[in-house]
Chains A and B, each alone.
Chain A
């Protein structure tokens, strides 16, 4: 059996460097370009009566008890299905998911941190048949936009659906109720300028105006919020996130937002050691009272409520002009069905269940700290009055109706967050780059990532 690869191996072992060039053309690495998608079985909403073990691969941490609870609820309804939850930490899952799904021991549902090349390499199945069968197409569609992928395998927001989730993340600004009373805040700020005045009041009162984690990207949130508030419109950012051809973030709104954030840094509104604070330390400092405001996401709400209810409030980032639209960044805790999963129908049933079952939706808030979306007429889950969780849930409902939910710029490409947004924001806050250079650099890195 002297195959082509056999010859390649022999030559390489001999270390004939000169011959390498010839060989390279002969045996290119990777799969066959003619590999089409796995032929899909007809989608069915039935889950049969045979015993099935549904394997979930999620991120470690709060996701494990959350999905375990959802699994038990699902089993209560379909007694032949056992849900088995496995986990990997987020960073590990991000780096190993492609290999896991290309292997032989695939989960039936996987938490998808980023779609990346997963659809192009045919590792996930399209959920379109299930969306049709379960009637997801009748629900508010903005909740599915970020996991649609176009036929080129890259542009998002359009095309086939590849993932759906139980709940959504949502960003905004937490505030310490006791401290905001001291600086005379009676209601959430109506404009960015009003917010900036509050920051100034806090500084004058000897308080730390904002607590934020600049080390691992927390300062990118207010930046994106400022961009959207100044633009008063999110189409440009949304197009950019979805890598629509010709999209650019190098805009006047971005420059203005970067200018404002830099000014906040220089005025001492951000912690002096902002670039050394990570996502574990920032909420801990905020809970201790170090920081009047804490721009972050709803995943922090259950943790903040644990320190005592009615201590922390949450408002959406203020608009640029009074009465203007509010926007928030959102991302679903997306689950996808691997192409090699033998239990796609059951997995799809589980996905439908977590989005529609009232008890499951309640667990999503209580255990997952996320807000469920689902059908427009689904009742919102409840949360204790005055809690940070309750504030995030109502903010989400409001935005779902006003189409104010936008994806994270951090998710536009696989590396834009760690390689561009984080370091460039750090340079910006340290005064080592200008707002104009910041906007241009993020855009040029983005184009390089996309090979434009």
Chain B
């Protein structure tokens, strides 16, 4: 009210007034964000310094929960496994997605091109739990994967994939490739659609082949989409839970244990809410540290 009574032309108060009214508009959203996002996040940080079962009284635990992450081999191992999954959830789908999108771009719009898109995108529509169950059958001793190997005479390579110490983690990773490939392809296709066709024409006129066209036009034109793809899939890999929980429960041994499953067990099974919070906060920080350079890369001119 005081601001409103001042004479017009007084620049500083008018800016202040505008920012105050802006705050008013932001307040409801910020309130929700604060209550449902910031508050729980900071609460997790707080819990990580306590020994608490989620119901009874909590006792301060100092840095014990944090030390455990680095001293308990199983906890650290799960973080390492999550990084192995990045190869399958991010590197392969983005790489293959680029190739697939480039090929689909060259297809004439029609039944085949549509089918190709649908087939690639379908896994993205399925719930991950359903995908996990379906792949568990495919990987079992008499499942589709082994049937195919037997049919082509590769009997010596058949195995219970998810029960095999060497192949369980890559097998889980392949499920990730299957799920993420469609998402990346569709996003990259949309990105390619936005690239000025004149650029392709110019490249062709300059005598560029398919490969140099890809590196000179397609790849730079997809910078933003690539950043989105990489960010999304990296988070999915590091925070993975559903597929592992359904397909292997972390086994055999500790071979496919990931932080997501550990956090779940610590919270709900062991009722070590403090330890779970510490691991969750640690995971969030790791994700941010990984995502940050990717985002920087996207912003550069």
Q: Which residues of A contact B (CB under 8 A)?
A: 9, 12-13, 15, 17, 20, 23-25, 28-33, 35, 94-96, 98-99, 102, 116-117, 120-121, 123, 214-216, 272-277, 281, 413-415, 418-419, 422-424, 426-427, 430, 432, 448-449
Q: Are B160 and A415 in contact (CB under 8 A)?
A: no
Residue of B nearest to A216 (CB): B249
Q: List 10 A-B contacts (CB under 8 A).
A: A29-B43, A30-B53, A121-B56, A123-B55, A272-B141, A273-B159, A275-B163, A276-B160, A276-B163, A422-B251
Q: Which of chain B's residues have a CB closer than 8 A to the CB of A418?
A: 249-250, 265, 269
A301 to B42, CA, bound (A): 51
Q: Which of chain B's residues have a CB closer than 8 A to the CB of A423?
A: 250-254
| Shortest beta-carbon distance from B161 to chain A in Å | 8
The listed residue with most A CB atoms (<10 A of its CB), out of B55, B141, B165, is B55
A95 to B273, CA, bound (A): 12
Q: Are B55 and A30 in contact (CB under 8 A)?
A: yes
Q: Are B38 and A215 in contact (CB under 8 A)?
A: no
Q: Are B252 and A414 in contact (CB under 8 A)?
A: no
Q: Which of chain A's residues have a CB closer than 8 A to the CB of B165?
A: 430, 432
Contacts A28-B50, A276-B163 given: A215-B251 contact, CB under 8 Å?
yes
Q: Which residues of B contact A (CB under 8 A)?
A: 34-35, 38-39, 42-43, 45-47, 49-50, 52-60, 72, 74, 139-141, 159-165, 249-254, 265, 268-271, 273
Partner of A427, one of B35, B43, B46, B253: B253
Q: Are A12 and B43 in contact (CB under 8 A)?
A: yes
Partner of B253, one of A116, A123, A413, A426: A426
A274 to B140, CA, bound (A): 11
A215 to B246, CA, bound (A): 12
| Shortest beta-carbon distance from A284 to chain B in Å | 12
Q: Which of chain A's residues have a CB closer than 8 A to the CB of B42?
A: 12, 15, 20
The listed residue with most A CB atoms (<10 A of its CB), out of B251, B270, B271, is B251
A-B contact count (CB 8 A): 137
| Shortest beta-carbon distance from A10 to chain B in Å | 10
| Shortest beta-carbon distance from B145 to chain A in Å | 12
A23 to B139, CA, bound (A): 51
Residue of B nearest to A427 (CB): B253
| Shortest beta-carbon distance from B213 to chain A in Å | 46
A426 to B141, CA, bound (A): 17
Q: Are B56 and A120 in contact (CB under 8 A)?
A: yes
Q: Which of chain B's residues have a CB closer than 8 A to the CB of A415?
A: 265, 269-270
Contacts A24-B60, A216-B249 given: A102-B254 contact, CB under 8 Å?
no
Q: Which of chain B's residues have a CB closer than 8 A to the CB of A17?
A: 45
A121 to B46, CA, bound (A): 21
Partner of B141, one of A94, A98, A276: A276
| Shortest beta-carbon distance from B68 to chain A in Å | 9
Q: Are B270 and A28 in contact (CB under 8 A)?
A: no
Q: Are B57 and A33 in contact (CB under 8 A)?
A: yes
A123 to B271, CA, bound (A): 15
Q: Are B39 and A276 in contact (CB under 8 A)?
A: no
Q: Which of chain A's residues have a CB closer than 8 A to the CB of B47?
A: 29
Q: Are A121 and B53 in contact (CB under 8 A)?
A: yes
Q: Are A117 and B53 in contact (CB under 8 A)?
A: yes
| Shortest beta-carbon distance from A177 to chain B in Å | 26
Q: Are B56 and A31 in contact (CB under 8 A)?
A: yes
| Shortest beta-carbon distance from B280 to chain A in Å | 15
Q: Which of chain A's residues have a CB closer than 8 A to the CB of B43?
A: 12, 29
Q: Which of chain A's residues have a CB closer than 8 A to the CB of B140?
A: 273, 276, 281
Q: Are B159 and A102 in contact (CB under 8 A)?
A: no
Please provide the 8 A-B residue pairs with the shortest distance between their CB atoms, ordered closest to farther.
A276-B163, A273-B160, A276-B160, A95-B268, A275-B163, A33-B57, A30-B58, A275-B252
Residue of B nearest to A281 (CB): B140
Q: Which of chain B's residues have a CB closer than 8 A to the CB of A215?
A: 163, 249, 251-252
| Shortest beta-carbon distance from A98 to chain B in Å | 5
Q: Are A117 and B60 in contact (CB under 8 A)?
A: no
Q: Which of chain A's residues have a CB closer than 8 A to the CB of B251?
A: 215, 275, 422-423, 426
The listed residue with most B CB atoms (<10 A of its CB), out of A9, A28, A117, is A28
Partner of A430, one of B38, B56, B252: B252
Residue of B nearest to A422 (CB): B251
A29 to B46, CA, bound (A): 8
Residue of A nearest to B268 (CB): A95
Residue of B nearest to A449 (CB): B270
Q: Are A95 and B252 in contact (CB under 8 A)?
A: no
Q: Which of chain B's residues have a CB closer than 8 A to the CB of A29?
A: 43, 46-47, 50, 52, 58, 273
Partner of B55, one of A13, A31, A94: A31
| Shortest beta-carbon distance from B153 to chain A in Å | 20
Residue of A nearest to B72 (CB): A448
Q: Which of chain A's residues have a CB closer than 8 A to the CB of B253?
A: 423-424, 426-427, 430, 432
A415 to B267, CA, bound (A): 11
**Known contacts A31-B56, A427-B253, then 12 further A-B pairs from the complex at CB < 8 Å, ordered by chain A residue:** A12-B42, A23-B46, A25-B60, A28-B58, A33-B57, A102-B55, A215-B252, A276-B160, A414-B269, A418-B249, A423-B251, A426-B251
Q: Are B269 and A31 in contact (CB under 8 A)?
A: no
Q: Which of chain B's residues have a CB closer than 8 A to the CB of A12?
A: 38-39, 42-43
Contacts A23-B46, A98-B271 given: A32-B54 contact, CB under 8 Å?
no
Contacts A275-B160, A414-B271 given: A32-B265 contact, CB under 8 Å?
no
Q: Are A32 and B57 in contact (CB under 8 A)?
A: yes
Q: Which of chain B's residues have a CB closer than 8 A to the CB of A120?
A: 53, 56
